[in-house]
Amino acid sequence: MWARVHKLDRVRPSPAGGAVVVIEDERSVTQMQRVPSLSTLVAVARVLAARRALEAKFDGKGEIRYAATALPNFLSEAVTRAGAAIATRDGEKILVPAQPAGVAATVDIAFSELAHHARGSIGIVDVATALKQYEERRRTSPLDRDKEPEKYWTAVFELSALAGEQARRGGGRWIDTRDLPVPFAIKFADGKVSHPTVVAQKIVEGADVETAKSADPT
């Protein structure tokens, strides 16, 4: 399942040490392109999580492969920058090697674009109003991340994106972090860091907004 941000699909330990982590994306290119920003954020989150797993369990040794039938250019670039190679659908053959580079700008732009998409889906231009309505909708209709991972993580990222646009007005920008399962946070000019994705997960699981906000480790 392409949207399982909280789980690794396949981990193949090597007898010589290290492992190959395979991330699977079963979607067609057309499906990936429906909401490019969401595809980008989910893919980058999964690759960064795989990197953390290699560091924690295999001393950083091994490689990450993003297995798909085909990828649009924007997603291929995001995946390889995050640190994964593009592989065939079965994960056996590498088509494009990993090209690790900074992904903070990619993440920040993707969240901004996803917020625009979310406002359009809700039909409300004002960010604060759209965020409040979305929070209430999700709180009253909780989702289970194991039973409905695509719906769950889509809601988490869209809520986070809307919250991020409010923070952007105060100088906040999205960055990549070492947090799991979502390695993204907002950093302000004064160095403070906020974690909208942590709050969003609680809301999507049915917590009231104030209780959810108390979960932010900031």
What is the tens place of the pLDDT at every residue in 46-73?
999 999 999 999 999 999 999 999 999 9
What is the tens place of the pLDDT at every residue in 148-187?
999 999 999 999 999 999 999 889 999 999 999 999 999 9
CB 118 within 8 A of CB 131: no
Please report, for residues 110, 114, 212, the alpha-carbon distance to residue 38 in angstroms, rounded to integers and kept in the order given: 7, 6, 22
H or E segment at 189?
A: none
| Sheet of strand 193-194, all strands in order from the earlier edge strand to the far edge | 173-176, 184-187, 193-194
Each domain of the chain, given as residue ranges in start order, spans 10-96, 104-213
For residue 181, cis peptide bond before it (omega within 30 degrees of 0): yes
CA distance 65 to 79: 9
pLDDT of residue 217: 63
Amino acid at 122: I
